[in-house]
Structure 1
Amino acid sequence: MKYIFLMLALFSMGMAASAQNTLTGSLTSKQHGTAIMGTVYIPQIEKGTVADFDGNYTLTNIPNGNHTVVFSALGYGTISKRINFSGNQIVTENIEMEESAVEMEEVILSTLFHKLQSENVMRVERVSTAELSSSGAVTLADGIKNIPGVDIISTGQGIGKPVIRGLSSNRVLTYTQGIRLENQQFGDEHGLGINEAGIESVEVIKGPASLLYGSDALGGVLYLNPENFAPSGESHGDVSSTYFSNTSGFSTNLGIQTSAEKLKFLARGSYSSFSDYKTGADYSVTNSRFNESDFKTGVQYLGNKFKTTVRYNYNRSNIGIPEEIGAQTRSKDLELPFQEIDNHILSMDNTLFLKNSSFDLKAGYLYNDRREFEDDASTAALRMQLTTFNYDLKYNLPDFGKFETIVGLQGMFQDNKNKGEEILIPDATTTDIGLLATTHYHLDKLDLQAGIRYDSRKIKSDAAREFGEADYIPALNKNFTSFTAALGGKVDVSQLFSVRLNFASGFRAPNLAELTSNGVHEGTNRYERGNYNLKNEHNFQTDLSLEYRNEHVEFFANGFYNVVSDYIFISPTNEVIDDTPVYDYLQDDAKLYGGELGFHLHPHPLDWLHFESSFETVTGQLQNDDYLPLIPANSLQNTFRVEFADGKSRQQSSAFITLKNTFDQKNIGTFETRTGGYSLLSAGVESSFKINKVLLKAGINGTNLTDKKYVAHLSRFKSDGIYNVGRSINLNLKLEI
């Protein structure tokens, strides 16, 4: 551990003055030769500029090294170039951009090499949180379920757990501020604990990402990109508020940003409060109310050879736990039982730029304090304190021809302690270490990527409860190791059509609950018994992605086949203990298969008109052909959207109407019941107005406009016959300076 802190100290030391490089040039239209006021951006140093009226740009204070530079402009195809900077150099790049009706591409940050989506070997879904909010999402988890291939296991509106292609909990890894989020995610009723305020965008890797992230990325990764700092020399502030009619709820957040040439700062605070949600059956779900306080801040320094970013996030969530339908009230005061959860996330992201290479070091400290109050609001019946320190050191080797190569070391030390009367999992420590190497090969029409990784995880727990008692949990000392690998390629068959093919393996070490449980889990109404002899889960997934796009239409088809060895699942027995049915953790081979289809029509020159359609399906089965539990139902979503821009005072206006059809879920696990299909209608309008230096955004949207009475298959209230949320009309207002 001392070597890690020594490395942090070395990375945090100021560097002596050295070469400063400059990038200059012009942006022009290839078709017409006219100037373009586009954007020039270098993702690795988070630095950019905007071309002037004549299309000229200058970007200064660029460290030495090989950097990817992204040139983008509305109405033109995005261009990325790999440029070497060294020795107080002035580099000139005059870029001719081609007109395109396709929306501007973003740099994908979750896949190490920071490529544009069109250059990425893996297809990664990316969506901004602004888009999620404008669709009527109440929380971040509520919003991500609209991404193709993604759903959530919900406990009311206050708790949502991501599901990627049928896999969830410890099989899906969440990253925030560049570090892995650890918050006792094994529990069905344990949500993300991250507020959408201060999150710029969401990226989803659908498939094994163990090569990049180690254990628990067997099913995929939810990667949350924090908001960007203001451009150099600028200061900004904003305040926004949203009202939700269904819960009489509101969410308000305030943010400030200020940036000099080398030093940048931002801060954001938010507060949300909601009463019990109303169902389409004309009743409210008693004690489904919740509130959330969130604070985020960050500071960044960019020197001639060194960049460091420090971010901190504090989140307090108070979430009611519904037990039965009782008093109908609009009160926002929590009733027993309820959860009270504190999350502290401190991260440091450092880059040291060398002549033709660079070192990246990310380190994080996380503290999760989870309390559950049952009969007494002053004393927690259940209290788990989880402390996690993780680090991620990577060396970006000098480019060798068309090869970009990264080698890395990742690790985690975790300590879990119980402070309450009840015990779900024993006191324990977890130690991870992983070594990886990956390379990317780029040609004009071909991209290849391959990598290999080795991981080791050690779990050591104390004994719990009294020896000789039926619920006694013995001490545990286990080691889990694994090799994983990935190979993928993307080829542009033509200017309009591309194919991606990926093969990847992943693994997951069993978690503490699966290994050590021995008692009643109140949240699931089961007596759960762990299995000391559980082995690693391993999987091998094949992904095929086809994409076609021209100036009028875009189409994609993604298919996957995922084979999981030693899949861990919980299964009912014929026993009853303490009047509660007993469930054991078992292992068997499993398979999951399915995919997503998407269609986007934007006829040129009617670029303001959009019609989008997507279909998703997944099937999961054990080796004996029994269906896996918690598999999302097939769904079809159609959206009609219009967008108008470039007014004198009205900057942009948009409107949408969406119909989502969720089909019957008949392929159910052994302790599930069939779920009927349903259709949900939503719509909204939004406009922004510029008055001097003030930008005003206003919008109204509605979800479940027909007040449909329905139950989602992945709702944890389904077994109690409690319906999901009914109609909600939501008003939002934002002021930017």
Structure 2
Amino acid sequence: MKLTYFLLLTFVLSCYSQVASAQATGSIWGQVLAEGKPLELATVVLPGNRLGTATDAKGHFVLDGVPAGSQEVVISSIGFQGQRQRLTVVAGQTHSVHVQLTPTPAALQEVVVTGVSRTTELRKSPVPIAVLSRREVNLNGSSNVIDAAVKGVPGLSAVTTGPNISKPFIRGLGYNRVLTLYNGLRQEGQQWGDEHGIEIDQYDIDRIEVVKGPASLIYGSDAVAGVINMLPRLPNGPAGELHGDALTEYQTNNNLIGTSLGLHYNRNGWQYAARGSYRLAQAYRNALEGRVYGTAFRELNLTAMAGLEKTWGATQLYATLYNNLQEIPDGSRDSLSRRFTRQVFEGEQDDIKHRPLVSDADLATYRINPLHQRIQHYRLLSRTRLRLAQGELHALLGAQQNVRREYNHPTAPAQAGLAVALNTYNYDLRYAAPAWQGIEATLGLNGMYQTNTNRNATDFPIPDYTLFDVGGYFFLKKSFGKLDLSGGLRYDTRVLRWADFYVGKNPATGFPQQVEGRSGLAPQFSAFRGTYRGVSASVGATYSLSDRLVLRANVARGYRAPNITEVGSNGLDPGAHIVYLGNRSFGPEFSLQEDLGLSAYLPDAELSASVFHNAINNYIYQARLNGPDGQPVIIVPGNATYQYQQGRALLYGAEATVNLHPRALPSLTLSNSLAYVTGLNREAQLLEANGAAAKYLPLIPPLRTRSEARLTSQQPWGHLVHAYVRAVLDYNAPQNRFYAVDNTETRTAGYALLGVGLGTGLATGPEKREWLQLFVQLDNALNTTYQSHLNRLKYFEYYAASPTGRRGIYNQGRNFSLKITMAF
């Protein structure tokens, strides 16, 4: 009932402004030129209203449904200096804007909105921000949206468990240290688990924005490493006309089939959109092992949106549904042939050495095997922006429910081992005050209320709990000519609590079950109440040494409260095959990070370099638990045991990009990036006890470089437009700096992956409107056998040695992908 009332309240608040307004809107049309010629595909946006479009082959554009009043139009295009124009829109009238762009890298002025208090520009942000467009996501063949982002953003990596589960890491920090947003709403889907992916429809994402560095000032806990904001597409195009797009995708490695259909409509400021997407895949394969049992999946996404843009502001309401069936790999094999085997018995009857082999038919099927997880995620999101005199009030309200079931009982396939329901209610209020004496001030308040409930299950890694989180902040920004200063302060409070939680034996099934308290029965989770408080702060500056050279620096104190598993876990997570043990005495993490960067925007190149230094107190990590005899502690047979630890840590590293686009060869683009991070353990007691084995932190990615050469046609070839060919070399160095205590991690060999691709658009009509896009990509073209250091399947091994000398499961082999998008 609480969820029902909250959803009703959210809807009422989001619609409050709608019923009172029937104000008309105006239109903006114009032409964008460059060096006297029409410029196609230039971006034209109204940042305050998030309305946008692109120019056609003649450089023309039209923006309908523009609220009356003062508006700022931002025009940008790759390779040109962006421009801004302000005009007053009169209701019922059409206004013209004509712009001449000057050749210069557009990255100088690209508008971003993630991780900052209000709309800002890339060059004026003191912390590194990366932006990935929908087209760049489509260029790369990937099984999920996080993998697509990893390929395009230096410093971003992912812990993976098969092709459809990727958890983002920024500069060596992940899990609850990276905050993932869907259109500004924090994603709450039990993201603490290794085998828990991101419940977002990748086909609906129009833009990905990544903040690399502490963003705790704006978002509070869980943004200590950075923010990834997934922005869905908004309705655009001519008013009063129904338009949409269709997508189909096929990948050969796991026979992935993906389809998506979207519709959108806008008229008189009203906006409507809907999308349905479906993907299914068989087990992936590589040259060493063939198909990897337990990696097939099936995923459904539905999205609906309604909104209104008027002179008083805007309001939008989103509803999404995510339903995923995901197999659970365990890596069991025949000891000699190394073929995968399946579990058919439990307990003492389950002999790993005598499990039956998985047949070829069961490896090459879309049917989900009995050992799998089912994740359902429901989201309701309301975003409202109100103009108050010269200021703006932004309100975000959200409700989410994440239901996760993991089926790990082969003798009782309908019985879930893990079954939890997480309800989260989010709120975020932000007031952008009018500028005073050149100072832009923003005040904000945000947080969440969360309840977690165990349902009919047999394993209970965490208790039922409630969480309340609230934080307030202020942020100031002022420009002094070439110097832009910004900074702010925030205070957070989080309360986490649960009651005694008892587990007993079900006499009918023999499995454990949750029970009421009984005399003489000790609770698996004793009652707990913890309060965590922290102060976050940030101060940064950008300085334009010249029109083409920008220096940026930032110092930030981040805060993160420990999550539920780190404090309260005491049981088996079936999907991870790990028994987690938490620690109630943990305090919040506090980090102090310094960033320094230099960017150069030259006529033929864009260069950037940044370094960072991050010292963390009370750093929490997980490590394999060994007994006094030095042997691994086994609480549940066939499953490892990990216990969370806390100490001091230091991370430092660097990132660099060199993007060349010579004016003498406008069709050629050469992109190069490098990312490096080292994580050091600074806990004296651990270092004294374990020596060099404890020197480094776990889950630190190796040095990585990525180079791409791309040729893109500048002129149409008949009906073909924007045709391109590309070659990509992705190199990961050996990781010799790893957390080796109790063999928690092992060395990972280096590898290089070659990718090639091509694609084109199809345009028709006198305006040469592009209505179809084709993307062809061949990844791991040489079918290289490799293991990523952040691949959890690397450690799925039951034997101390193997006949081949190779242990664990390897990453995906050669993959040919074909993607077609059609607009109508």
Q: Into which bin does the TM-score normalised by the smaller protein fall?
A: over 0.9
Deviation at 1:403, TM superposition (A): 2.2
Q: 2:649 aligns with which of 586, 590, 596?
A: 590
Q: Residues of 2 paired with 1:450 and 1:86: CA distance?
A: 37
8 Å CA contact 1:397–1:406 kept in 2: the answer is: yes
Answer yes or no: is 1:704 the counterpart of 2:704.
Answer: no
Q: Which moved more, 1:136-145 or 1:209-218?
A: 136-145
Structure 2 CA distance for aligned equivalents of residues 331 and 5 of structure 1: 43
Partner of 1:178 in structure 2? 184
**Structure 2 counterpart of 1:550:** 602
- Aligned-residue Cα RMSD (Å) equals 2.9
Specify the alignment match of 1:391 in structure 2: 427
**Equivalent position of 1:348 in the other structure:** 382
Task: Return the offset for 1:332.
Answer: 1.1
Amino acid at match of 1:656: R
* 244-253 vs 56-65, which moves further: 56-65
Instruction: Find the aligned partners of 2:173 and 2:119 in 1 and give their Cα distance.
Output: 26
**SS of alignment partner, residue 653 of structure 1:** strand
Closer/same/farther in 2, CA of residues 54 and 523 from structure 1, 3 Å limit:
closer
Question: Residue 359 of structure 1 contacts residue 394 of structure 1 at CA under 8 Å; is this kept in 2?
Answer: yes
Q: Where in structure 2 are the equivalents of 1:436-475 lying within 5 Å?
A: 436-466=473-503, 472-475=524-527
CA gap of 1:4–1:734, structure 2 versus 1, over 3 A, is closer
Tell me if structure 1 keeps the 8 A contact 2:724–2:758: yes
- More deviation in 17-26 or 159-168? 17-26
Query: What SS class does the counterpart of residue 718 from structure 1 fall into?
Result: helix
Q: State the alpha-carbon separation in 2 of the partners of residues 22 and 403 from structure 1.
A: 31
Aligned match of 2:418: 382
Aligned-pair CA distance for 1:49 = 6.4
Secondary structure at the aligned position of 1:157 is classed as coil
Q: Please tell me whether residue 627 in structure 1 is matched to residue 714 in structure 2.
A: no
SS at match of 1:441: strand
Is the 2:761–2:770 Cα contact (8 Å) retained in structure 1? no
1:127 aligns with 132
- Map 1:232-381; keep pairs closer than 5 Å: 232-233=238-239, 234-323=241-330, 324=332, 325-326=340-341, 327=358, 328=360, 329-375=363-409, 376-381=412-417
- Aligned AA for 1:549? Y
**Cα offset for 1:54?**
9.4
The aligned counterpart of 1:725 is 812
Residue aligned with 1:144, SS: helix
1:477/1:115 CA distance change after superposition, 3 Å: same
CA separation of 1:541/1:199 partners in 2, compared to 1, >3 Å: closer, same or farther? same
1:42-81 mapped onto 2 (5 Å cutoff): 42-48=46-52, 61-62=66-67, 68-73=72-77, 76-80=80-84
Aligned mates of 2:756, 2:597 — CA distance in 1: 30
| 2-structure distance, mates of 1:9, 1:396 | 23
* Change beyond 3 A, Cα 1:71–1:439: same
Structure 1 counterpart of 2:569, from 505, 517, 524: 517
Structure 2: where are the runs of 5+ without partners?
333-339, 342-357, 504-516, 628-632, 688-694, 798-807
SS of residue in 1 equivalent to 2:48 = helix
Q: Residue 221 in 1 paired to residue 273 in 2? A: no
Equivalent residue for 2:589? 537
1:277-332 deviation per Cα after TM superposition (whole angstroms, max 9, x unaligned): 11131511012111111111211111221311111111111111112223233111
- Please tell me whether residue 99 in structure 1 is matched to residue 133 in structure 2: no
Task: Give the percent of matched residue pairs that are identical in Structure 1 and Structure 2.
Answer: 29
Q: Distance in 1 between matches of 2:294 and 2:21?
A: 59
Does structure 2 conserve the Cα–Cα contact (< 8 Å) formed by 1:86 and 1:355?
Answer: no
Residues 510 and 536, structure 1, Cα contact 8 Å, conserved in 2: yes
- Deviation string, structure 1 residues 182-239 (Cα, Å, up to 9, x no partner): 0001111111122201111111111110001110001111111111211351432221
Alpha carbons of 1:215 and 1:606: their partners in 2 closer, same or farther (altered >3 Å)? same
More displaced 10-residue stretch of structure 1: 693-702 or 533-542:
693-702
Give the AA of the match of 1:511. Answer: N
Asked if the contact 2:450–2:468 (Cα under 8 Å) also holds between the matched residues in 1, the reply is: yes
Q: Secondary structure of 1:45's partner?
A: coil
Q: 1:489 aligns with which of 537, 541, 548?
A: 541
Q: Closer, same or farther in 2 for the Cα pair 1:284/1:470, shift >3 Å?
A: farther
Give the distance between the partners of 1:642 and 1:628, measured in 2 at CA. 41
1:158 lines up with 2:164 in the alignment:
yes
CA separation of 1:56/1:536 partners in 2, compared to 1, >3 Å: closer, same or farther? closer
| Compared CA separation, residues 307 and 232, structure 1 to 2 (3 A) | farther
Deviations along 1:116-168, one digit per CA (max 9) or x if unpaired, are 32233322111123312322112112212212001110101121111111011
1:45 corresponds to which letter in structure 2?
N
Q: CA deviation at 1:4?
A: 11
* Counterpart in the other structure of 1:412: 448
Using the alignment, how far apart are the partners of 2:25 and 2:266 within structure 1?
A: 20
**CA distance in 2 between partners of 1:518 and 1:469 (Å):** 16
Between the aligned partners of 2:696 and 2:237, the Cα distance in structure 1 is 51
Greater mean alpha carbon deviation, residues 424-433 or residues 302-311:
302-311
Please say if residues 21 and 90 of structure 1, whose CA atoms lie closer than 8 Å, have aligned partners that are also in contact: no
Question: For 2:322 and 2:32, how far apart are their aligned partners in 1?
Answer: 46
Letter in 1 for 2:433: L
Question: Considering only CA atoms, is the larger Rg found in Structure 1 or Structure 2?
Answer: 2
Residue 735 of structure 1: aligned partner:
822
Q: Secondary structure at the match of 1:197?
A: helix
| Residues 755, 778 of structure 2: 8 Å contact kept | yes
1:12 maps to 2:15? yes
Whole-angstrom distance in 2 between the partners of 1:668 and 1:74: 40
CA distance in 1, matches of 2:130, 2:600: 16
What is the identity, as a one-letter code, of the residue corresponding to 2:722? Q
Q: Secondary structure at the match of 2:626?
A: strand
State the match for 1:659 in structure 2. 729
| 1:104–1:36 CA distance, 2 compared to 1 (3 A) | farther
TM-aligned CA distance change 1:582 to 1:339, over 3 Å: closer
The answer on 1:683 being equivalent to 2:756 is yes
Q: Is the 8 A contact 1:48 1:59 kept in 2?
A: no
